[in-house]
Protein backbone atom coordinates (compact mmCIF):
# COMPACT_ATOMS: atom_id res chain seq x y z
CA UNK A 1 0.00 0.00 0.00
CA UNK A 2 2.88 2.39 0.65
CA UNK A 3 4.56 1.73 -2.72
CA UNK A 4 2.92 4.67 -4.60
CA UNK A 5 4.00 7.05 -1.83
CA UNK A 6 7.58 5.79 -2.02
CA UNK A 7 7.64 6.16 -5.82
CA UNK A 8 6.22 9.66 -5.69
CA UNK A 9 8.70 10.66 -3.00
CA UNK A 10 11.44 9.55 -5.38
CA UNK A 11 9.99 11.78 -8.09
CA UNK A 12 8.72 8.91 -10.27
CA UNK A 13 5.40 9.68 -12.05
CA UNK A 14 2.91 7.26 -10.53
CA UNK A 15 -0.77 6.48 -10.96
CA UNK A 16 -2.94 4.07 -8.95
CA UNK A 17 -5.50 2.30 -11.11
CA UNK A 18 -9.04 2.69 -9.72
CA UNK A 19 -7.65 3.86 -6.39
CA UNK A 20 -9.97 3.08 -3.50
CA UNK A 21 -11.02 5.72 -0.99
CA UNK A 22 -11.20 3.02 1.68
CA UNK A 23 -8.11 2.18 3.76
CA UNK A 24 -8.85 -1.54 3.42
CA UNK A 25 -9.94 -3.09 0.15
CA UNK A 26 -11.34 -6.59 -0.28
CA UNK A 27 -8.73 -8.40 -2.42
CA UNK A 28 -11.35 -10.76 -3.87
CA UNK A 29 -13.87 -8.19 -5.15
CA UNK A 30 -12.30 -5.69 -7.50
CA UNK A 31 -11.78 -4.52 -11.05
CA UNK A 32 -8.02 -4.62 -10.69
CA UNK A 33 -5.45 -3.99 -13.37
CA UNK A 34 -3.67 -7.33 -13.38
CA UNK A 35 -1.56 -6.61 -16.47
CA UNK A 36 2.22 -7.00 -16.37
CA UNK A 37 3.71 -4.51 -18.82
CA UNK A 38 7.20 -3.05 -19.05
CA UNK A 39 8.18 -1.09 -22.16
CA UNK A 40 11.62 0.48 -22.65
CA UNK A 41 11.95 3.34 -25.17
CA UNK A 42 8.86 2.06 -26.97
CA UNK A 43 11.00 -0.67 -28.56
CA UNK A 44 11.64 -3.37 -25.98
CA UNK A 45 8.79 -5.03 -24.09
CA UNK A 46 8.43 -7.45 -21.21
CA UNK A 47 5.26 -9.28 -20.19
CA UNK A 48 4.15 -12.54 -18.62
CA UNK A 49 3.22 -13.51 -15.08
CA UNK A 50 6.02 -11.90 -13.10
CA UNK A 51 5.22 -9.41 -10.35
CA UNK A 52 7.81 -7.06 -8.88
CA UNK A 53 7.99 -8.53 -5.41
CA UNK A 54 10.55 -9.95 -3.00
CA UNK A 55 9.16 -13.48 -3.24
CA UNK A 56 10.29 -13.75 -6.87
CA UNK A 57 13.96 -13.22 -5.93
CA UNK A 58 14.63 -16.91 -5.34
CA UNK A 59 18.38 -16.37 -4.94
CA UNK A 60 17.65 -14.45 -1.72
CA UNK A 61 15.70 -17.38 -0.20
CA UNK A 62 12.51 -15.39 0.47
CA UNK A 63 10.01 -16.52 3.08
CA UNK A 64 7.33 -17.13 0.43
CA UNK A 65 9.23 -18.05 -2.77
CA UNK A 66 7.51 -17.74 -6.15
CA UNK A 67 8.77 -19.00 -9.50
CA UNK A 68 7.43 -17.46 -12.68
CA UNK A 69 7.68 -17.15 -16.45
CA UNK A 70 8.26 -13.86 -18.25
CA UNK A 71 9.00 -12.90 -21.85
CA UNK A 72 11.08 -10.27 -23.63
CA UNK A 73 9.54 -9.18 -26.92
CA UNK A 74 10.71 -6.94 -29.75
CA UNK A 75 9.30 -5.73 -33.04
CA UNK A 76 5.78 -4.50 -33.88
CA UNK A 77 4.19 -6.52 -31.06
CA UNK A 78 5.71 -4.02 -28.59
CA UNK A 79 3.30 -1.40 -29.96
CA UNK A 80 0.42 -3.43 -28.51
CA UNK A 81 2.03 -3.33 -25.06
CA UNK A 82 2.66 0.40 -25.33
CA UNK A 83 -0.85 1.20 -26.55
CA UNK A 84 -2.40 -0.80 -23.72
CA UNK A 85 -0.20 0.93 -21.15
CA UNK A 86 -0.99 4.29 -22.75
CA UNK A 87 -4.73 3.74 -22.41
CA UNK A 88 -4.37 2.67 -18.78
CA UNK A 89 -2.14 5.66 -18.01
CA UNK A 90 -4.55 8.12 -19.63
CA UNK A 91 -7.50 6.59 -17.77
CA UNK A 92 -5.68 6.76 -14.45
CA UNK A 93 -3.86 10.09 -14.68
CA UNK A 94 -5.58 11.99 -17.51
CA UNK A 95 -2.24 12.34 -19.33
CA UNK A 96 -2.08 11.16 -22.95
CA UNK A 97 1.28 9.85 -24.08
CA UNK A 98 2.34 10.69 -27.64
CA UNK A 99 5.25 11.37 -30.01
CA UNK A 100 7.98 9.05 -31.27
CA UNK A 101 9.60 8.77 -27.86
CA UNK A 102 6.65 6.63 -26.76
CA UNK A 103 5.58 5.22 -30.13
CA UNK A 104 8.62 4.85 -32.43
CA UNK A 105 8.44 3.13 -35.81
CA UNK A 106 9.06 -0.57 -35.20
CA UNK A 107 10.68 -2.82 -37.78
CA UNK A 108 10.03 -6.60 -37.86
CA UNK A 109 12.25 -8.68 -35.60
CA UNK A 110 12.49 -12.49 -35.79
CA UNK A 111 10.12 -14.97 -37.42
CA UNK A 112 7.29 -15.12 -34.85
CA UNK A 113 3.77 -14.07 -35.77
CA UNK A 114 2.48 -12.43 -32.60
CA UNK A 115 -0.09 -9.96 -31.32
CA UNK A 116 -1.17 -8.49 -28.00
CA UNK A 117 -4.64 -9.33 -26.73
CA UNK A 118 -5.96 -6.94 -24.05
CA UNK A 119 -8.99 -8.00 -22.05
CA UNK A 120 -11.13 -6.36 -19.37
CA UNK A 121 -14.64 -5.63 -18.11
CA UNK A 122 -15.01 -2.89 -20.74
CA UNK A 123 -15.01 -2.89 -24.56
CA UNK A 124 -12.54 -5.82 -24.50
CA UNK A 125 -14.85 -7.97 -22.36
CA UNK A 126 -14.54 -11.76 -22.74
CA UNK A 127 -11.90 -11.56 -25.49
CA UNK A 128 -9.41 -13.90 -23.83
CA UNK A 129 -11.97 -16.57 -22.91
CA UNK A 130 -13.34 -16.66 -26.46
CA UNK A 131 -9.82 -16.81 -27.87
CA UNK A 132 -8.99 -19.75 -25.59
CA UNK A 133 -12.17 -21.53 -26.69
CA UNK A 134 -11.22 -20.98 -30.33
CA UNK A 135 -7.72 -22.35 -29.77
CA UNK A 136 -9.07 -25.44 -27.98
CA UNK A 137 -11.53 -26.06 -30.82
CA UNK A 138 -8.63 -26.21 -33.30
CA UNK A 139 -6.40 -28.51 -31.20
CA UNK A 140 -5.54 -31.78 -32.91
CA UNK A 141 -2.76 -33.44 -30.90
CA UNK A 142 -1.93 -31.81 -27.56
CA UNK A 143 -2.93 -28.99 -25.22
CA UNK A 144 -0.76 -27.99 -22.27
CA UNK A 145 -1.92 -25.55 -19.60
CA UNK A 146 0.30 -24.12 -16.86
CA UNK A 147 -1.52 -21.84 -14.43
CA UNK A 148 -1.38 -20.99 -10.72
CA UNK A 149 -5.18 -20.73 -10.43
CA UNK A 150 -7.35 -23.19 -12.36
CA UNK A 151 -11.05 -22.48 -11.93
CA UNK A 152 -12.45 -22.64 -15.49
CA UNK A 153 -16.15 -21.97 -15.98
CA UNK A 154 -18.50 -24.67 -17.24
CA UNK A 155 -18.01 -23.69 -20.89
CA UNK A 156 -14.23 -24.07 -20.65
CA UNK A 157 -14.57 -27.35 -18.73
CA UNK A 158 -16.86 -28.71 -21.44
CA UNK A 159 -14.44 -27.60 -24.17
CA UNK A 160 -11.55 -29.37 -22.41
CA UNK A 161 -13.63 -32.51 -21.92
CA UNK A 162 -14.76 -32.57 -25.54
CA UNK A 163 -11.27 -32.30 -27.02
CA UNK A 164 -9.84 -34.76 -24.49
CA UNK A 165 -12.51 -37.33 -25.34
CA UNK A 166 -11.80 -36.80 -29.05
CA UNK A 167 -8.23 -37.96 -28.53
CA UNK A 168 -6.36 -34.71 -27.89
CA UNK A 169 -3.93 -35.04 -24.98
CA UNK A 170 -4.77 -32.39 -22.36
CA UNK A 171 -2.24 -31.74 -19.60
CA UNK A 172 -2.94 -29.22 -16.83
CA UNK A 173 -0.18 -28.20 -14.42
CA UNK A 174 -1.05 -26.42 -11.17
CA UNK A 175 0.89 -25.84 -7.92
CA UNK A 176 0.75 -28.58 -5.32
CA UNK A 177 0.31 -25.97 -2.60
CA UNK A 178 -1.54 -22.83 -3.61
CA UNK A 179 -0.88 -19.49 -1.97
CA UNK A 180 -4.65 -18.88 -1.79
CA UNK A 181 -6.37 -21.61 0.23
CA UNK A 182 -9.91 -20.86 -0.96
CA UNK A 183 -8.77 -21.13 -4.58
CA UNK A 184 -7.14 -24.49 -3.96
CA UNK A 185 -10.23 -25.84 -2.21
CA UNK A 186 -12.53 -24.66 -5.02
CA UNK A 187 -10.21 -26.13 -7.65
CA UNK A 188 -10.20 -29.49 -5.89
CA UNK A 189 -14.00 -29.44 -5.80
CA UNK A 190 -14.21 -29.32 -9.59
CA UNK A 191 -11.12 -31.43 -10.39
CA UNK A 192 -13.14 -34.65 -10.46
CA UNK A 193 -15.37 -33.30 -13.24
CA UNK A 194 -12.32 -32.37 -15.31
CA UNK A 195 -10.54 -35.67 -14.70
CA UNK A 196 -13.58 -37.71 -15.68
CA UNK A 197 -13.48 -35.86 -18.99
CA UNK A 198 -10.06 -37.47 -19.62
CA UNK A 199 -7.98 -34.37 -19.10
CA UNK A 200 -4.93 -34.96 -16.89
CA UNK A 201 -4.02 -32.79 -13.90
CA UNK A 202 -0.52 -32.62 -12.44
CA UNK A 203 0.58 -30.79 -9.29
CA UNK A 204 4.05 -29.28 -9.18
CA UNK A 205 6.10 -29.05 -5.97
CA UNK A 206 7.23 -25.81 -4.30
CA UNK A 207 8.30 -23.15 -4.86
CA UNK A 208 4.85 -21.87 -5.81
CA UNK A 209 4.63 -21.70 -9.61
CA UNK A 210 2.94 -18.50 -10.80
CA UNK A 211 3.62 -19.23 -14.50
CA UNK A 212 0.78 -18.74 -17.01
CA UNK A 213 1.10 -20.61 -20.30
CA UNK A 214 -1.08 -22.34 -22.90
CA UNK A 215 0.46 -24.43 -25.69
CA UNK A 216 -1.56 -25.96 -28.54
CA UNK A 217 -0.21 -28.48 -31.06
CA UNK A 218 3.45 -27.50 -30.69
CA UNK A 219 2.98 -24.29 -32.68
CA UNK A 220 0.61 -21.88 -30.85
CA UNK A 221 1.78 -20.20 -27.64
CA UNK A 222 -0.35 -18.05 -25.36
CA UNK A 223 1.17 -16.23 -22.40
CA UNK A 224 0.64 -13.15 -20.29
CA UNK A 225 -1.13 -12.12 -17.11
CA UNK A 226 -4.43 -14.02 -17.30
CA UNK A 227 -5.33 -16.94 -15.04
CA UNK A 228 -7.91 -19.64 -15.74
CA UNK A 229 -10.54 -18.29 -13.37
CA UNK A 230 -13.64 -16.03 -13.60
CA UNK A 231 -11.98 -13.26 -11.63
CA UNK A 232 -9.22 -13.01 -14.21
CA UNK A 233 -11.32 -13.61 -17.32
CA UNK A 234 -14.31 -11.46 -16.30
CA UNK A 235 -13.43 -8.96 -13.56
CA UNK A 236 -9.80 -8.02 -14.19
CA UNK A 237 -7.92 -6.04 -16.81
CA UNK A 238 -5.48 -8.47 -18.42
CA UNK A 239 -3.07 -8.70 -21.33
CA UNK A 240 -1.82 -11.80 -23.13
CA UNK A 241 0.22 -12.41 -26.27
CA UNK A 242 -0.64 -15.09 -28.78
CA UNK A 243 2.24 -16.32 -30.88
CA UNK A 244 2.64 -18.72 -33.78
CA UNK A 245 6.21 -19.99 -33.52
CA UNK A 246 7.18 -23.68 -33.59
CA UNK A 247 10.71 -22.97 -32.33
CA UNK A 248 9.39 -21.07 -29.32
CA UNK A 249 6.79 -23.78 -28.73
CA UNK A 250 9.58 -26.36 -28.70
CA UNK A 251 11.48 -24.42 -26.03
CA UNK A 252 8.35 -23.91 -23.93
CA UNK A 253 7.40 -27.58 -24.25
CA UNK A 254 10.85 -28.47 -22.92
CA UNK A 255 10.13 -26.20 -19.95
CA UNK A 256 6.80 -27.97 -19.34
CA UNK A 257 8.56 -31.34 -19.64
CA UNK A 258 10.96 -30.25 -16.90
CA UNK A 259 8.04 -29.26 -14.67
CA UNK A 260 6.30 -32.59 -15.34
CA UNK A 261 9.43 -34.52 -14.36
CA UNK A 262 8.89 -33.45 -10.72
CA UNK A 263 5.09 -33.33 -10.78
CA UNK A 264 2.53 -35.74 -9.32
CA UNK A 265 -0.52 -36.75 -11.35
CA UNK A 266 -3.89 -36.44 -9.63
CA UNK A 267 -6.48 -39.15 -10.34
CA UNK A 268 -10.26 -38.96 -10.15
CA UNK A 269 -10.14 -41.70 -7.50
CA UNK A 270 -8.00 -39.41 -5.32
CA UNK A 271 -10.71 -36.76 -5.46
CA UNK A 272 -13.48 -39.24 -4.67
CA UNK A 273 -11.50 -40.54 -1.69
CA UNK A 274 -11.54 -37.20 0.13
CA UNK A 275 -13.30 -37.29 3.48
CA UNK A 276 -16.79 -35.80 3.68
CA UNK A 277 -15.83 -32.71 5.74
CA UNK A 278 -13.14 -31.87 3.17
CA UNK A 279 -15.56 -32.38 0.27
CA UNK A 280 -18.07 -30.08 1.97
CA UNK A 281 -15.37 -27.45 2.58
CA UNK A 282 -14.22 -27.62 -1.04
CA UNK A 283 -17.79 -27.51 -2.32
CA UNK A 284 -18.52 -24.41 -0.28
CA UNK A 285 -15.36 -22.75 -1.62
CA UNK A 286 -16.49 -23.55 -5.16
CA UNK A 287 -19.65 -21.52 -4.58
CA UNK A 288 -17.37 -18.49 -4.27
CA UNK A 289 -15.65 -19.22 -7.59
CA UNK A 290 -16.86 -16.02 -9.37
CA UNK A 291 -14.94 -13.95 -6.80
CA UNK A 292 -11.82 -16.10 -6.39
Catalytically annotated residues? 34, 36, 41, 210, 212, 217
Residues, the chain: 292
Contact between 102 and 82 (Cβ < 8 Å): yes
Amino acid sequence: PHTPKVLRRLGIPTGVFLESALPIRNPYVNLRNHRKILVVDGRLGFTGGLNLRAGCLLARNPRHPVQDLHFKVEGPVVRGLMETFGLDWAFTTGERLGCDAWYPVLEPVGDSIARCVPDGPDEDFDVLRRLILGALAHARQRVRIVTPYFLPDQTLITALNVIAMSGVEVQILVPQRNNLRFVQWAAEAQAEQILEGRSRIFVTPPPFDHSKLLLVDDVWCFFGSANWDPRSLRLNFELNIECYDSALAQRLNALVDAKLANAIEIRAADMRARQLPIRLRDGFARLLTPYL
